[in-house]
Structures are given as structure tokens and as C-alpha cells.
């Protein structure tokens, strides 16, 4: 969180700080009128974003995503299960979002965070609506065995735009996912193949580690609507002061996956909706580049 | 364009609406709202003294408790609670009763598609019945988008499952009270054209979404006329009693 630079003048810094605490909304509006935000960003710019693939060695796919100081750790664990009767040749993906007390002063130990189930539901809706994963690809033996992918996302630091960071980390973890090699043993059970691959009498079901083919990748951008201003990628302070949030999810082919505006004091006019969509389009392009760079960095290693 | 809907409706046709008010004895306000076979009952208790969790010395607080027809509440219900809560908060005038909590209990009686819009309509009618000061009304609608690109309104559960994508939209209703000049219009758009809440599922193009907005907007004008027609006579008789 960048405080305004007060270049050594202590008295003015105290005053600004006091003003910020006492009249947060006025403090922000003074900035917005100058088309700048207290952390030095223009209104439409998102914070610096980084992705590190493969952050958890024991998981089959993992990623650590940071948007400003909002940090999310996502990991995928694959398990073999028996597919349901209705869809014998499809695997399954279970998404869970966790907000431990470490992430924010609002979350207290013992009492689960209110936002967690909502973000979790939003994530599974988004990933299923986008059709990013072909569940048929997770099938091993039709009607007998299929992959169950447990995707867990942990919020390590909640500083606004939780859904954006969670989706980014989830997508990156799925991007990094390597489906383990398995084979069918004599009892007809699926076992994970040994790395040395010495014995070949077992019938291999999934010969080598493979990646999922992701059809189109969804990326999101949360914006705050305040009066006529649109602030992209809010921090938690901004979210607490100005409450109207709009989250737009677009995929790489510019399809609208979700436009999520749960109430809020400011009404979204069509022009504002279109502005948010335009900002998201630009952001999708940025995030795509960041993800590609993270991936090429992995390949070099 | 000709399309076949299972129940023989045209694409713009809503299911029969029904709304009754003041049906629970102990609640401060209550209403039931049904759209075809989807029926939701809402009760409002409050404003009552703020509980510690929601205490805010400057604003009133709205809490929403969602009761499904059967079973325990899960992630879906938690999400609906949050959406209804934020939607209602945006239509209430929160500064009138600071440091109070208003509880809205939403009981689902039957779910046959468009559940969330139906619940928002019921909750809004219950708030009116309880006499909670509101800025304007909120009217909710579900628009469904089929593969071939046409939009149908107020889908049943079966239609919701068959369709490619759907959007739950909530629009504000006309304000009849006095507002300062110029606050109604922003960049030439009338206020009823703005959206309070939007929740979508399934992939669609941006143009399709804007098309859904237009269609939803047109339909909610009819629905808000219905809401006013059902609630107004009862309210005016109440106030004459009080006076």
C-alpha cells in the first residue's frame, strides 16, 4: 500500500494522514478529481501483476499469483475416482476457496469469512461457464475411472480484487497442471506408474504426463463505480470506502463469461458497463502476456 | 422469430405474476411473490437495535437469511444471500435509521426457474409492506439466451438448464418522489435504464448481453406497473387508517 510521498516534510504528512483517516471519501474524491489514485495509479490501471508457476512441489499443478499485494496460492491435486452414472466418460473438478485468518484483519479465527463461499461459487461458475476444461479429457476408462481434480485456492493476503487474483491463480495452476501417468494393474485397478517405468506388462492408460488443453482462458477485472468514475482493480481500502463493484470476465476470444454486479449504491448505466468491458479487454491482453511469460520462464528452467 | 416454449408462451411473455402482502402475523412486513410455479415468501423484521456484528453508527444495516425449500444452505444460498443483501442495501435509505439492523428472511416455497429474481421481487415487496424507507423499487428479471441467439424472458427451470447462458438483472423503478434537478439523468440515459444488479452464467457475446439488457428493461417496466398496482391500494388504505 503506497502512502502519498511526503518528501520528508513530517507535518504535512501527518495532516494528510489524518485527513485520509477522518474523511476517507473526501480524500479519495480529491484524488479522483485529479484523475489519480492515492497509490499513484491512473484510474483505469491495474496494479503490478506477477505469476509464479509451480509454487507447490507436491501438487500436480500450482501457481502463486500476485496483483499488487493481493496474493493467492492455487494448487491442483489429481485423484482417481469412479465417474457418476449420468456422465460415465467425464471427470470432475472441485473448486474451493479458502480465506484463513492470516489474509486480512477482517477474518477472525474460528469464524469463516463471509466472502469465501461467494468467491468459491463465483470461481466454479466462471470456470464451468467458460468451457475452459473439457471434462471428457479427464476420463481414463469410460464408466470405470476418471480424474477428480481438486483445485484449492488459498488467499494469503487480501488487499482487494479477491476474485481477480483467485481466478488468475486458478487458471495459472490449471495451465501448469501435469496429469500424472497411470496404468491399469492386474486387478483392474488404476495405479500411479513408477517414474522409472521399468515394467511394461501393465496396460498403460495414460502413458506419460500430459497437459490439459485449455480451450479459452477466462480473465477478469473488477472495477469500482463511484459517481462517474471507474476505478480498475481496487485495493481493500478502496473497496471499503466505495462499495459498488463490477466484475467482468472475458475469455481470450472476447466472449463475455460473466458480468457480476451484486447491488451497490451506484447504478451502472450502459455506457459505464461498456467502459468496464473495454477496460477488461485491455486487461485480458495484459494478463495473457503475463501468463505466457511465466510459462516461457518455466520452460527455460 | 418463431420459437417453441414448452408452456406455449411467446419469447417476451412472462408467467402469471402474483403478489400478496401482509400475510404473516408476527413479521413487521411480509410478502409472497410468485412467477408461475416459482414462489418465494419474504418476511422483514426491523429496524431493530443493531447487533454487534453489523454495528455502524452512521448507517442502517440489512441482513438477509435465505431458507431453501429443503436441505441445508450451501455456497449457492450464501451467494444469493449476499446478492439480495447488497441489492436491498442499494435501494434502502440507510441514513434514516442509523445503527439498526433490518432482517429479511427469504423462504423459498417452490423453485421452477428464475429463483433469484423472484426472491428479490418478494423481498422488495416485503420491505414496502414493512414501511422501510426506500429510494426506489427494484424489479428483477431473468433473461435466457439460446444457442441461436434469441432471448427469452422469465424461463422455467427446464428452459434455464437447456439454454446457453442466462442473466439475472435488477433494474430500478421510476421515482415518484422529488429529487434534485439533474440527478436523474447521467449522460442522457434515464435512470430506469441503469442496472442495480447483474449476475450472468454461461458464455455470451457482449452484444448479446446488451440485447438482454434491452429486453429485460422493457419487461421490468411491465412488472413494476404490476407491483405498483398491487401494492398501492393497500398502502393508501393503511395510511388513511393511520391518519
Residue at B55 is within a domain: yes
Residue at B3 is within a domain: no
Burial of A153 (C-beta count, 10 Å sphere; 0-12/13-18/19+): buried
Residue at B188 is within a domain: no
Q: Do B191 and A267 touch (CB under 8 A)?
A: yes
Chain B nearest C-alpha distance from A75 (Å): 21
Predicted confidence (pLDDT) at residue B241 exceeds the cutoff of 50: no
Question: Taking CB atoms and an 8 Å cutoff, what residues of chain B touch A257?
Answer: 200, 203
Residue at B202 is within a domain: yes
pLDDT at A200: 46
Q: Do B87 and A262 touch (CB under 8 A)?
A: yes
Mean pLDDT of chain B: 85
**If DSSP codes are grouped into helix, strand and coil, which group holds residue B112?**
coil
pLDDT at B243: 36
- Domains of chain A (ranges plus CATH)? 49-177+212-300 (3.30.230.70)
Cα(B99)–Cα(B59) distance, integer angstroms? 6
Cα(A25)–Cα(A83) distance, integer angstroms? 53
Average pLDDT for B202-214? 90
CB A250 within 8 A of CB A280: yes
Name the residue in chain B with its Cα closest to that of A263.
Answer: B87
What's the domain count of chain B?
1
Chain A nearest C-alpha distance from B195 (Å): 5
Question: Where are the extended beta strands (E) located within chain A?
Answer: 49-53, 61-67, 70-81, 92-98, 139-141, 145-157, 178-179, 182-184, 190-192, 203-206, 210-211, 218-226, 229-232, 245-251, 256-260
Boundaries of domain holding B92: 17-177+193-230
- Looking from the CA of B40 toward its CB, the CA atoms found within 13 Å total 28
Q: Do B206 and A254 touch (CB under 8 A)?
A: yes
The partner residue sitting opposite A262, judged by closest CB among B193, B197, B209, is: B197
Question: Taking CB atoms and an 8 Å cutoff, what residues of chain A touch B216?
Answer: none
Residue at B36 is within a domain: yes
Question: Taking CB atoms and an 8 Å cutoff, what residues of chain A touch B165?
Answer: 129
Predicted confidence (pLDDT) at residue A33 exceeds the cutoff of 60: yes
Q: pLDDT for B102-129, tens place per residue?
A: 999 999 999 998 999 999 999 999 999 9
Cα(A65)–Cα(A55) distance, integer angstroms? 10
Average pLDDT for B221-235? 80
Residue at B237 is within a domain: no
**Which of A215, A239, A263, A265 to mutate: most B Cβ within 10 Å?**
A263
The partner residue sitting opposite A256, judged by closest CB among B76, B172, B204, is: B204
Cα(B47)–Cα(B178) distance, integer angstroms? 24
CATH number, domain containing residue B144 = 3.30.230.70
Residue at B212 is within a domain: yes
Which of A156, A152, A168, A147 lies closest to A76, judged by CA? Answer: A152
Chain A nearest C-alpha distance from B180 (Å): 16
The partner residue sitting opposite A277, judged by closest CB among B193, B204, B206, is: B206
**% of chain A surpassing 70 pLDDT:** 87
Average pLDDT for B46-71? 83
Q: Do B167 and A259 touch (CB under 8 A)?
A: yes
Quickly state the pLDDT bin for B178 (edges 50, 70, 90).
Answer: low
Residue at B124 is within a domain: yes
Q: Do A117 and B79 touch (CB under 8 A)?
A: yes
Name the residue in chain B with its Cα closest to that of A253.
Answer: B205
Cβ atoms within 10 A of the Cβ of B127, count? 26
Higher pLDDT, A219 or A214: A219
Mean pLDDT of chain A: 86
pLDDT at A98: 94
Name the residue with cell 467502459. Answer: A275
**Which of A130, A230, A262 to mutate: most B Cβ within 10 Å?**
A262
Name the residue in chain B with its Cα closest to that of A251.
Answer: B203
Predicted confidence (pLDDT) at residue A230 exceeds the cutoff of 90: yes
Q: Do A256 and B200 touch (CB under 8 A)?
A: yes
Higher pLDDT, B117 or B192: B117
Chain A nearest C-alpha distance from B76 (Å): 7
pLDDT at B107: 95
Q: pLDDT for A240-260, tens place per residue?
A: 898 899 999 999 888 999 999
Name the residue in chain A with its Cα closest to that of B138.
Answer: A263
Size of interface A-B (CB pairs under 8 A): 101
Q: pLDDT for A92-144, tens place per residue?
A: 999 999 999 999 888 888 888 888 999 999 999 999 988 888 888 888 888 88
Burial of A26 (C-beta count, 10 Å sphere; 0-12/13-18/19+): exposed
Chain A nearest C-alpha distance from B117 (Å): 12
pLDDT at A2: 44
Q: Do B203 and A257 touch (CB under 8 A)?
A: yes
Lowest mean pLDDT among A203-217, B17-31, B211-225: A203-217
In the stretch 256-275 of chain A, residues with CB closer than 8 A to chain B read 256-265, 267-271, 273-274
Cα(B55)–Cα(B49) distance, integer angstroms? 9
Higher pLDDT, A114 or A157: A157
Name the residue in chain B with its Cα closest to that of A97.
Answer: B75
Quickly state the pLDDT bin for B94 (edges 50, 70, 90).
Answer: confident
Question: Taking CB atoms and an 8 Å cutoff, what residues of chain A touch B85?
Answer: 263
Q: Do B203 and A131 touch (CB under 8 A)?
A: yes
Cα(A162)–Cα(A124) distance, integer angstroms? 14
Q: Do A259 and B201 touch (CB under 8 A)?
A: no
The partner residue sitting opposite A125, judged by closest CB among B87, B201, B206, is: B201
**A228 vs B: CB within 8 A:** yes
Quickly state the pLDDT bin for A210 (edges 50, 70, 90).
Answer: confident
Quickly state the pLDDT bin for A6 (edges 50, 70, 90).
Answer: very low
pLDDT at A85: 86
Average pLDDT for A76-99? 90
Name the residue in chain A with its Cα closest to that of B90.
Answer: A265
pLDDT at B239: 53
Amino acid at each position: 500500500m503506497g502512502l502519498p510521498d511526503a518528501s520528508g516534510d513530517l507535518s504535512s504528512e501527518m495532516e494528510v494522514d489524518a485527513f485520509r483517516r477522518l474523511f476517507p471519501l473526501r480524500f479519495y474524491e480529491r484524488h479522483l478529481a485529479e484523475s489519480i489514485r492515492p497509490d499513484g495509479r491512473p484510474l483505469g490501471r491495474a496494479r503490478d501483476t506477477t505469476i509464479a508457476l509451480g509454487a507447490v512441489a507436491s501438487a500436480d499443478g500450482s501457481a502463486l499469483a500476485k496483483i499488487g499485494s493481493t496474493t493467492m496460492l492455487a494448487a491442483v491435486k489429481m485423484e482417481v475416482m469412479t465417474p457418476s452414472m449420468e456422465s460415465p466418460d467425464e471427470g470432475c473438478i472441485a473448486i474451493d476457496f479458502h480465506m484463513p485468518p492470516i489474509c486480512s484483519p477482517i477474518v477472525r479465527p474460528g469464524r469463516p469469512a463471509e466472502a469465501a463461499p461467494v468467491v468459491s461459487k463465483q470461481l466454479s461458475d466462471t470456470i464451468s461457464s467458460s468451457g475452459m476444461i473439457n471434462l471428457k479429457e479427464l476420463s481414463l476408462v469410460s464408466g470405470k475411472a476418471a480424474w477428480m481434480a481438486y483445485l484449492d485456492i488459498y488467499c494469503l493476503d487480501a488487499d482487494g480484487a479477491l476474485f481477480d487474483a483467485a481466478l488468475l491463480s486458478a487458471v495459472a495452476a490449471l495451465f501448469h497442471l501435469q496429469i500424472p501417468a497411470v496404468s491399469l494393474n492386474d486387478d483392474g485397478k488404476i495405479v500411479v506408474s513408477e517414474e522409472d517405468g521399468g515394467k511394461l506388462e501393465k496396460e498403460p492408460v495414460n502413458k506419460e504426463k500430459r497437459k490439459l488443453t485449455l480451450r479459452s482462458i477466462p480473465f477478469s477485472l473488477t472495477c469500482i463505480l463511484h459517481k462517474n468514475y471507474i476505478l480498475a482493480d481496487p485495493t481493500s481500502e478502496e473497496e471499503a470506502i466505495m462499495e459498488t463493484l463490477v466484475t467482468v470476465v472475458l475469455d481470450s476470444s472476447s466472449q463475455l463469461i460473466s458480468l457480476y454486479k451484486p447491488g451497490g449504491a451506484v447504478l451502472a448505466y450502459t455506457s459505464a458497463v461498456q467502459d468496464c468491458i473495454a477496460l477488461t479487454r485491455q486487461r485480458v491482453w495484459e494478463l495473457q502476456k503475463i501468463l505466457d511469460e511465466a510459462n516461457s520462464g518455466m520452460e527455460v528452467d | 422469430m418463431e420459437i417453441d416454449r414448452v408452456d406455449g408462451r411467446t419469447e417476451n411473455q412472462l408467467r402469471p405474476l402474483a403478489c400478496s402482502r401482509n400475510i404473516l402475523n408476527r413479521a413487521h412486513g411480509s410478502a409472497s411473490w410468485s412467477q408461475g410455479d416459482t414462489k418465494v415468501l419474504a418476511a422483514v423484521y426491523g429496524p431493530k437495535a443493531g447487533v454487534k456484528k453489523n454495528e455502524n453508527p452512521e448507517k442502517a444495516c440489512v441482513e438477509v437469511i435465505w431458507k431453501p425449500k429443503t436441505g441445508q444452505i450451501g455456497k449457492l444460498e450464501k451467494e444469493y444471500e449476499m446478492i439480495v443483501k447488497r441489492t436491498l442495501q442499494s435501494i434502502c435509505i440507510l441514513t434514516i435509521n442509523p445503527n439498526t439492523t433490518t432482517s429479511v428472511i427469504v423462504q423459498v416455497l417452490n423453485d421452477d426457474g428464475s429463483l433469484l429474481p423472484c426472491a428479490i421481487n418478494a423481498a422488495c415487496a416485503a420491505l414496502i409492506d414493512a414501511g422501510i424507507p426506500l429510494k426506489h423499487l427494484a424489479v428483477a428479471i431473468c433473461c435466457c439466451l439460446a444457442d441461436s441467439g434469441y432471448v427469452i424472458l422469465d424461463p422455467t427451470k427446464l428452459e434455464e438448464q437447456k439454454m446457453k447462458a442466462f442473466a439475472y438483472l435488477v433494474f430500478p423503478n421510476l421515482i415518484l418522489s422529488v429529487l434534485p434537478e439533474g440527478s436523474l439523468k447521467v449522460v442522457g440515459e434515464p435512470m430506469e435504464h441503469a442496472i442495480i444488479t447483474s449476475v450472468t452464467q454461461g458464455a455470451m457475446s457482449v452484444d448479446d448481453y446488451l440485447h438482454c439488457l434491452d429486453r429485460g428493461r422493457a419487461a421490468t417496466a411491465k412488472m413494476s406497473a404490476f407491483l405498483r398496482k398491487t401494492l398501492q391500494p393497500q398502502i393508501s388504505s393503511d395510511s388513511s387508517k393511520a391518519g
